[in-house]
Structure 1
Amino acid sequence: MRIRQFGNIYQLAFLPTIFPINCYLVDEGVDLTLIDTGMAFCTKGILQVIKRLNKPLARIALTHPHVDHIGSLDAIKAAFPAAQVYVSRRDARLMLGDTSLQCTEDQTEIKGGFDQHVQTKPDNLLEENYQLKSLTVYDAPGHTPGSIVFYQKSSAILLAGDAMVTRGGLAVAGDKRWLFPFSAAATWSPATAIKSMERLNQLPICYLLVGHGRAMEDANQKITKAIWRAERKVGHV
């Protein structure tokens, strides 16, 4: 596990040179927020960092419920039973095994792995502009229908989940990079993902923190180029 700090946000990178999986701990002063839980093998590392920070985990927020983001949810919740679990209202359905699509959504099969053995259910359903301590929730559908991101305005940090990846090269969800094709293969609607990133890129982004890959500094212009690349692949959106 590799740890990097960005202000009050800690990036916990598991298997960083093989199959990078990132979780994030946000130090909110009196307590902590965990963004995504990685896979089951990430549990020990997450708990070690929480112990080192010596503060209670109060919130577990999920960008989306693919197995590589909720794999240690049950174990972390067992260690901190008072922690509240947050997921988007839309993707809460995926956690319950409902993969049906709404009539207003791209009628493309939802992809990616969902661990139906996860027992923990969300306590709170998130919608756009919800304020989770220092983080603001933004809708970012594309990778899944209910993907969300978290933006910290004070530091201009975007915690993007799988809305973008940096492993193998910066890419919008659905734009396959051959050095790391897995996120693209698990993306529901690349066209929807492009629209989401066009909107989110209007925010000033000093650091882009993703679910898979290294942090990217001064990200706006780089995101613009990644959007152009994705548009050329799927056709103009």
Structure 2
Amino acid sequence: MKMTTVQQVTQVAFMPRLFPVNVYLIEEEDGLTLIDAGMPFSIKGIQQAAARLGKPIVRIVLTHAHGDHIGAFDLLKAALPQVTTYISRRDSRLLAGSKELEPGEPQEPIRGDIPAPGKVTTKPDVLLEDGDRIGSLLAVASPGHTPGHMAFYDTRSGVLIAGDAFQTRAALAVSGHMQPLFPFPAMATWSKATSIASAKRLAGLNPTWLAVGHGKMIPQPTDKMAVAISRAEEALKKGAV
């Protein structure tokens, strides 16, 4: 486990054998907001990181419902029954085990490690929509990796916690644009075209830092995000994976 803090945002990085998995602790006046829940084994490190920061976890917010982002969700809720839990309205259906598409969505199969129906027992308290606020965080709908993927923008510092909308492991890339040295996010992406549209929206926020689910945080990332978007668009035009 490695902790890296930028302003009020602390990245907690776990490094399992195949790939790194990040969660984030956001400092607020009343405690900590945890973004994502990693793998089941992550619970111990998350609790240790919160203890080091000296504040209780009071909220758990999920960027999306893939297994490497919800692994310790039930365990954390059992250990911290008072926490308020959040996920997007759309990905709450994935969390409940449904891979059915909604009207108007690209008719492409939902990919990645979606829990089986009933596997996740915690029912989120709040179902998020685009533009909702969670303390200092602005919820930004960023579908593509999953239909209900959400990013979170810290309005105090400009740090963007982008979940799997981008990756920085191996290379800074848009979700769905295959990176051979770290292909897993692309393999788990639902709609490449939707991912690119969301990436453009996130780049338009001009974040001071980009924080993602897999890889290191990047300062002043806007120009690099634009390059990644261009590369993803070119790959999509060529029909590349």
Q: TM-score, normalised by structure 2?
A: 0.95
Q: Does the 8 A contact of 1:71 with 1:118 survive in 2?
A: no
Higher alpha-carbon deviation: 47-56 or 196-205: 47-56
Aligned identity (percent) is 47
Who is 1:29 aligned against? 29
Q: Where do residues 88-237 of structure 1 align in structure 2 (5 Å cutoff)?
A: 88-116=88-116, 117-235=119-237
Partner of 1:129, secondary structure, is coil
**Which structure 2 residue ranges, 5 or more long, are not aligned?**
none
Instruction: Give the match for residue 6 of structure 1.
Output: 6
Q: CA deviation at 1:155?
A: 1.0
Residue identity matched to 1:228: S
The letter for the 2-side match of 1:43 is I
May I ask how many residue pairs the two structures share in their alignment? 236
Partner of 2:51: 51
Matched letter for residue 106 of structure 2: D
Amino acid at match of 1:15: M
Asked whether the 8 Å contact 2:130–2:141 carries over to 1, the reply is: yes
> Contact 1:23–1:35 (CA<8 Å) still a contact in 2?
yes
SS of the residue aligned with 2:171?
coil
CA contact (8 A) 1:16 1:213 kept: no
Q: Secondary structure at the match of 1:59?
A: strand
Report deviation, 1:101.
Answer: 0.7
Do the aligned partners of 2:97 and 2:115 also contact (CA within 8 Å) in 1? no
- Match of 2:161, as an amino acid? L
1:189-215 deviation line (CA, Å, top 9, x unaligned): 010000011112111211000000001
- In structure 2, distance between residues paired with 1:40 and 1:144: 21
Q: Match of 1:208, as an amino acid?
A: L
Point out where structure 1 has 5 or more consecutive residues left out of the alignment: none
AA at the equivalent of 1:80: L
